A and B are shown apart, each in its own frame.
Chain A
Amino acid sequence: MRDAFLKYWRGILLAGVGAVATIWLALSGQLGLYIHPRYFAFTAIMAVIALVFVVVALVLPRQRDDGRDHDRDHDAHGDERENARRAPWRGRLAVARSAVIVVATTAALIALPPAALSTSLADGRELNAAGVVGENAIELARADPASFTVKDWAVLIADGASGSVLQEARPQVVGFVIADPETPETSFAIARYVMTCCAVDAQPVGIRVELPGWQERFSDGAWVEVGGRFAETDEGWVLRAESVEPVEQPAEPYVY
């Protein structure tokens, strides 16, 4: 049973847990917490295929490798199985390690609720480094600004040529607060993470908001909705806040 676990069943268990977790995330609309929407279909299809293999392996009799299992011959499944035969304690260790991986994977993927990255990670990452590059500001300038995210506004500001659009705009944006290191008393950045592939590459993208004494109302990292008007200053465009309300973290906290 030990050999069967290391060689065969731990893969089935891990693939099963991974597939179930992925399908659950897809069905509950939370896959976007971990990966970019362009991968949703591919990820879900592959998870279903994996689950079919897992169910077939669990339900149908197992195909043996031409008796090689009986003969205690070599096979593909790691030096740990070799070691297990030479020294029993190593075998127990290999089983224990794999069992820990299976349980930890189940805990991380199924037992723990899905979570977005915390806003505290944004402090160590440069604002507007990624995400505002490569976007087409001209197309954006023609679009309806009512649905613009902080990223769209950041693109228009970075573009530099959209002054008239910015001057007329009445932006209303949701994001989290990052204290402005240069003028912490009077302004902060309202930001969202932009994701290009998965949460690992999340980079904060945002715009500067001017609101003296903001720290008395909310803390660094809090989610807020800001409305106001853009104004051009020596440091570039800032959003002069007319209304700022604390809000819950959105169900889709990232922008793409």
Chain B
Amino acid sequence: MGATVAPAPAHEHRSRSRGRFVWLGIAGALVIGGVAVRLATQGGAALPTALQDGVTLAVSVFVESLPFIVLGVLLSVVVQIWLPARWIERALPRTPWLRRVLLSLLGIFLPVCECGNVPLARGLISRGLSPAESITFLLAAPILNPVTIITTYQAFGWDHGILVARIVGGFVIANLVGWVFSRHPSPHAVLTPSFAASCEARHGEETGRRWSRSVARFAEEMSTLLPALLVGCAIAGLIQVGIPREWLEALGSNPLWSVLALMALAFVVSICSNVDAFFMLAFGSVFLPGGIVAFLTFGAMVDIKMVALMRTTFRTATIVQITAIVGLASLVLGLGVNLLA
């Protein structure tokens, strides 16, 4: 897609600069309008309790995720614009499975939550890594990183092999999914057409100052990721007010249902992999260890927020396949732990 670049005519420059000030005005109006509404309605009628709780939960997931998204986008900008492409190729071995194994350990150096890994995974694909390699990184990094491992250890110690099952399970499942997608006859067909095309288009793109390209890439990544994240947060927040947790907790002591119920809970609550072990402690007395392991592996890889974010990059069919493989593998892992523990 190497488009030829013609110099922009003068009138277009004028209209661009006018357009910029329009957006500056809109941004200012949004913030000032929001503040004005807050001040004007102080002490006024509150939202209905359930709706307010839904909003609080959604805002909480967003406030918690936003810094990780910003960090992920910054890392993605560094990978795409500041890091020489050759450097990545030189650092990775040539054998495909070994590359995936190494990429699944990349999370050790990037202890961010799963949502921050999406922009970085996009950046890696855009820099020439295959979608299968990027998916391996995306799935493994939330589990195989020091913060997750430490918090899981703090929460469960060596009890029932939960920690070991989570680390080994996460590594194996991520590499399994990576291997399955590496067999795809046309690897880029797993990506949304527009993202695949943009990756190709960017291969020849080296013009413009790096700093202004970085700002542009930041804006573009935010434009893609933030609407998806916000929709995911809204669904995750409201669904928790709508579905009483007791329904899932009631299934706790059955070896099969405890695993399925906790996987459903993991999908719904969309909690960060770095701290989900503490959250799971709440259910330690209710659920069997297999259910807990399934929660800790499945939830770190796939949940409402992640599906919303992955939709920016992967086709729906790809996300369904990823969810199915990760779900089945987590189920098997959970049932196995229940059998052995």
Interface centre among B56, B62, B212, B270 (most CB of A within 10 A): B56
Asked if B254 is an interface residue, CB under 8 A from chain A, the answer is no
Min distance, Cβ B65 to any Cβ of chain A, angstroms:
9
Instruction: Tell me the residues in window 36-77 of chain B with beta carbons closer than 8 Å to chain A beta carbons.
Output: 37-38, 41-42, 46-47, 49-50, 52-53, 55-64, 66-68, 70-71, 74
Min distance, Cβ A14 to any Cβ of chain B, angstroms:
4
Q: Which residue of A lies closest to B283 (CB)?
A: A129
The answer for the CA separation of A12 and B50 in the assembled complex, in Å, is 31
- By the criterion CB–CB under 8 Å, are A63 and B213 in contact? yes
- By the criterion CB–CB under 8 Å, are B19 and A42 in contact? no
Given A67-B3, A74-B197, A117-B53, check contact A112 B226 (CB 8 Å).
Answer: no
B79 cross-chain contacts in A, Cβ below 8 A: none
Number of contacting residues on B, CB 8 A?
A: 100
A68 cross-chain contacts in B, Cβ below 8 A: 1, 3, 201
Given A46-B71, A110-B31, A113-B42, check contact A74 B201 (CB 8 Å).
Answer: yes
- By the criterion CB–CB under 8 Å, are A124 and B246 in contact? yes
- Chain B binding site: helix, strand, loop or mixed by DSSP? helix
- By the criterion CB–CB under 8 Å, are B66 and A22 in contact? yes
Min distance, Cβ A204 to any Cβ of chain B, angstroms:
10
Asked if B218 is an interface residue, CB under 8 A from chain A, the answer is yes
Min distance, Cβ A24 to any Cβ of chain B, angstroms:
8
Min distance, Cβ A64 to any Cβ of chain B, angstroms:
8
Convert B234-263 into 0s and 1s, putting 1 for each residue whose CB lies closer than 8 angstroms to a CB of A: 101100110011100100000000000000
- By the criterion CB–CB under 8 Å, are B70 and A117 in contact? no
Interface centre among A11, A56, A117 (most CB of B within 10 A): A11
B154 cross-chain contacts in A, Cβ below 8 A: 134
Stretch of B91-99, B135-143, B188-196, B317-325 at the chain-chain interface: B188-196
B4 cross-chain contacts in A, Cβ below 8 A: 67
- Chain A binding site: helix, strand, loop or mixed by DSSP? helix
Asked if B279 is an interface residue, CB under 8 A from chain A, the answer is yes
Asked if A199 is an interface residue, CB under 8 A from chain B, the answer is yes
Q: Which residue of A lies closest to B275 (CB)?
A: A197
- By the criterion CB–CB under 8 Å, are B24 and A59 in contact? yes
> Which of B30, B60, B61, B193 has a CB less than 8 Å from the CB of A82?
B193
- By the criterion CB–CB under 8 Å, are A35 and B63 in contact? yes
> Which of A25, A61, A120 has a CB less than 8 Å from the CB of B16?
A61
The answer for the CA separation of A17 and B62 in the assembled complex, in Å, is 12
Given A65-B216, A198-B64, check contact A10 B223 (CB 8 Å).
Answer: yes
> Which of B70, B200, B286 has a CB less than 8 Å from the CB of A49?
B70
Min distance, Cβ A177 to any Cβ of chain B, angstroms:
16
Convert B190-229 into 0s and 1s, putting 1 for each residue whose CB lies closer than 8 angstroms to a CB of A: 0011110110110001011100110110111111111100
- By the criterion CB–CB under 8 Å, are A125 and B3 in contact? no
- By the criterion CB–CB under 8 Å, are B59 and A109 in contact? yes
- By the criterion CB–CB under 8 Å, are B223 and A6 in contact? yes
Given A14-B226, A120-B49, A129-B282, check contact A112 B60 (CB 8 Å).
Answer: no
> Which of A58, A66, A79, A129 has a CB less than 8 Å from the CB of B205?
A66
> Which of A13, A49, A113 has a CB less than 8 Å from the CB of B38?
A113
Asked if A88 is an interface residue, CB under 8 A from chain B, the answer is no
Q: Which residue of A lies closest to B38 (CB)?
A: A111
> Which of A20, A25, A50, A103 has a CB less than 8 Å from the CB of B31?
A20
- By the criterion CB–CB under 8 Å, are A62 and B285 in contact? no
Instruction: Tell me the residues in window 200-238 of chain A with beta carbons closer than 8 Å to chain B beta carbons.
Output: 200-201, 203
The answer for the CA separation of A250 and B131 in the assembled complex, in Å, is 49
The answer for the CA separation of A7 and B220 in the assembled complex, in Å, is 6
Q: Which residue of A lies closest to B284 (CB)?
A: A133
A-to-B contact residues, CB < 8 Å: 1, 4, 6-22, 25, 31, 33-36, 39, 42-43, 45-47, 49-50, 53-54, 56-68, 70-71, 73-79, 81-82, 98, 101-118, 120-121, 124-126, 129-130, 133-134, 196-201, 203
Name 13 A/B residue pairs within 8 A (Cβ), A-sorted: A10-B227, A14-B222, A17-B34, A34-B60, A58-B23, A63-B208, A67-B6, A73-B201, A104-B234, A125-B245, A197-B278, A198-B61, A201-B278
